[in-house]
């Protein structure tokens, strides 16, 4: 595929990411994606012959990999989990505030929608979250947590953060994320 084809594919994925995070899977139509991306309609099926699910999967994977790379980068720099979660909390908060609380976590909206109705996309969302949790688990282990304790604590940490994103969107307030950040700090202190 040439540079123009790669650019068109990238625009389709970016447009999809933007729409599904704010509107969800069911609230986003292919016509909206074509309009948002500025790509010709025919290129959608050229690049994503399996249709909307293939395009949404690519968008979720790309967004998830970006967050996972951020977490890994912070871990490589030696940041502890409290610092890593602080960065992630600030990222999600900035996204919420910039979008007037329509966006936050790039996976959550679709994940909630498809968990009971679309097994393929549910699995992709689960893989993304597992990747994030694995980075946190590894960092906790490096901080002296036992393997089982690190796994449980990383799950609790991710659950606090994702729940806070939902509450922040519903309440249109950053407070739930600030509270979650504080709760993660206390959880890590209690477990240490």
Model confidence at 1, in pLDDT bands (50, 70, 90)? low
Mean pLDDT of 115-133: 97
Give the pair of three-digit tokens for residue 1.
Answer: 């595929």
Inform me whether the pLDDT recorded for 84 exceeds 80. Answer: yes
Distance from C-alpha of 117 to C-alpha of 96, rounded to nearest angstrom? 26
Q: Is this model's pTM higher than 0.95 or not?
A: no
Distance from C-alpha of 72 to C-alpha of 84, rounded to nearest angstrom? 9
How far from 69 is each of 3, 63, 81, 136, 183, CA to CA, in Å?
Answer: 25, 10, 15, 12, 24
pLDDT tens, position by position, 67-76: 999 999 999 9
pLDDT tens, position by position, 26-40: 999 999 999 999 998
pLDDT tens, position by position, 155-182: 999 999 999 999 999 999 999 999 999 9
8-state DSSP, 117 = T
Mean pLDDT of 12-30: 95
For residue 140, give every residue at least 6 positions away whose Cβ sits within 8 Å of its Cβ, in sequence order, or none.
81, 149, 150, 153, 154
Quote the Cα angle for 149-154-158, to 5°.
Answer: 155
Model confidence at 41, in pLDDT bands (50, 70, 90)? confident
Task: Report all structural domains of the chain as residue ranges with CATH numbers, in order of start.
Answer: 52-191 (1.10.357.10)
Judged by DSSP in three states, 14 sits in helix
Q: Is residue 8 within 8 Å of 43, Cβ to Cβ?
A: yes
Give the pair of three-digit tokens for residue 9.
Answer: 């594919």
């Amino acid at each position: 595929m040439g540079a123009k084809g790669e650019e068109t594919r990238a625009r389709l994925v970016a447009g999809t990411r933007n729409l599904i995070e704010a509107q969800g899977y069911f609230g986003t139509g292919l016509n909206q994606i074509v309009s948002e991306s500025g790509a010709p309609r025919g290129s959608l099926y050229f690049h994503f012959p399996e249709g909307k699910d293939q395009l949404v999967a690519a968008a979720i994977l790309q967004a998830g990999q970006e967050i996972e790379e951020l977490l890994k980068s912070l871990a490589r720099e030696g940041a502890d989990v409290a610092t890593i979660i602080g960065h992630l909390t600030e990222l999600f908060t900035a996204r919420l505030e910039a979008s007037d609380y329509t966006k936050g976590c790039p996976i959550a909206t679709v994940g909630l929608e498809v968990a009971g109705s679309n097994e393929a996309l549910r699995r992709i969302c689960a893989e993304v979250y597992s990747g994030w949790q694995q980075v946190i688990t590894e960092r906790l282990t490096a901080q002296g947590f036992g393997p089982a304790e690190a796994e449980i604590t990383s799950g609790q940490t991710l659950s606090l953060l994702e729940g806070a994103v939902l509450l922040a969107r519903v309440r249109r307030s950053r407070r739930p994320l600030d509270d979650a950040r504080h709760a993660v700090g206390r959880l890590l202190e209690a477990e240490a």
